[in-house]
Structure 1
Amino acid sequence: MTLHRTLQRRQLVLGGLGAAALATATGRAFAADYPERPITFICPWPAGGTADRSMRAICQIAARELGQPIALENRAGASGMIGTKALASARPDGYTIGQIPISVTRFAQIGTVQIDPLKDLSYLARTSGQTFGIAVPASSPFKSLRDMVAQAKAKPGVVSYAHAGVGGATHVGMEQFAQAAGVKFNAIAYKGGSAALQDVLGEQVDMLADSSSWAPHVESGKLRLLATWGEARTPRFKDTPTLKELGYDVVVEAPNGIGAPRGLPPAVEKKLRDAFRVAVASEEFKKVADSIDAPVMYQDGPEYRKYVEAVYRQETELIRKLNLKELMEKG
């Protein structure tokens, strides 16, 4: 009886090892053939914006590396969270990937998106940052940031700014600045930077807080750039000071990143990481990044995940400091 049980146990162990070996072999075979068909890339922003342009460029280059087209699909709304939720919910087979807005670390904690960015997503590459700034129409009485702050202090809640969505980088960045400056603005939310830009150009709103959608209009003289939000001045607008330089300890870069649903086969993940590493390093992508003032800030998947984890911890404090849950409830 003891011998019989021992033999049974050996058969179970060997059977289990056989199943594991078969699964590993199947995974390797799948990875060897991957990709066999086009890949869908979810961009959680409207077409035509800086993030959309950046992602389209990088996907074209990565597609050549992978030998299959990458079709970009815009799923905008909820400050990027509609597309991010769709990405997290997709099948983890490598045929659905997408941009991950770093603000998911904030929205997940506030509760407006029901995913856990530390558990529900795979991280493939951090690509490039963004140049955020505050711009006003050429006809604006604000000739400098000092002029604008003085007016905002004199008339709390009157000076308005357009941003790309409640709780997103442009909204939170402006609220950080407002707190640092001791002022209160009238924040007006849009579904994306493009719509916000149009209303500022039409002089319906006093200011625009956005990534570099304002750049060509500043160069053409339609808008005036009051400040940028990076650690240092941007080369393209080297005469414009940063918020930090003007005495406000606010830096917002919100790097773009690329990811996939949790559970990618390791070999498929490696192929994707390798393809996007080549794409980010290419001169072709650097030219596009320069044209939209998006400094290249590459990190490979494992380092990118560590960055996301660090930002998640920082957002916990920022949510408390800015009362973001209350702001979100007010819309």
Structure 2
Amino acid sequence: MIKVGIVGGTGYTGVELLRLLALHPHAKVCAVTSRKEAGMRVDAMYPSLRGYTDVVFSTPEDAGLGECDVVFFATPNGIAMGEARALLDAGVRVIDLAADFRIGNVAEWEAWYGMRHASPELVAEAVYGLPEVNREAICGARLVANPGCYPTAVQLGFLPLIQSDAIALDSLIADCKSGVSGAGRKAEVSSLLAEAGDSFKAYGVAGHRHLPEIRQGLSRVAGEPVGLTFVPHLTPMIRGIHATLYARLVRDVDLQDVFESRYANERFVDVLPAGSHPETRSVRGGNLCRIAVHRPQGGDTVVVLSVIDNLVKGAAGQAVQNMNLMFGFAEDAGLGIVPLQP
């Protein structure tokens, strides 16, 4: 049984980690940090965890994180990069759910995130935690950069097309929608029910922080730069991401076979039958990416529909999946959960 610490346990990804790890057969959460809530029982803040944990929030200094086997950072951007080194030096493995180690070019990261990187030397060591691409490297990693939610849905949707050399790489389009939980648990006017309900809007059209991460991942797979237009939208739902992806075909392939073959052995990617239209509610609460591929009117445009739960496969679930790989557990340990419906 490994000892787990969670830094930043009061946010949505933190409580999702707690939910998933509560029944994990090989992991026990021993420390959850929150300066503001130190001394409060975790299940007092999140009653859904009553009977599953008796952990009390503690300050990072009092949490004994250095005695853990693995520490998850479920914190805002900029926290893990300042604290990861001490934990790594103590022999603790680190999984960062924020963006501190996702982008290999430190100068580009600093430009997009508006701060100086505190541990640039760790960026080169960090393994990008998309198991469907980097499984072998994750198994041997001590520092994993957990992918963002939009990047997970988009990369899994485009990956088979790029690897099969079926599409032009200069004009990819990712038209994506997210539920409001993607903005986190912080108090913010734009996330209020009266503001986000009964409405639908695009944002970050001029440039979103997930753009360089997606572009980097796709370019690594392609072996050359890709041209990508990424437009995120906010939808009046709590959980879920729906990515509608467009590309131009450059050779005739059996698209259904391309996707089914690529993901035939992937536990957490479900390629739906031809003609399907995946719904976000079909993955709510589960660590799944469900994908359908279309070729409208038999033309040269391919449309991929990719859906995930942004808090699970897009965050905490994928982080647990990475932990399982790092410690040699079954990849689906603690993740055999059926999505919720309705």
TM-score where L is the length of structure 2 = 0.30
Larger RCO, structure (CA 8 Å, separation 6 or more): 1
TM-score where L is the length of structure 1 = 0.31
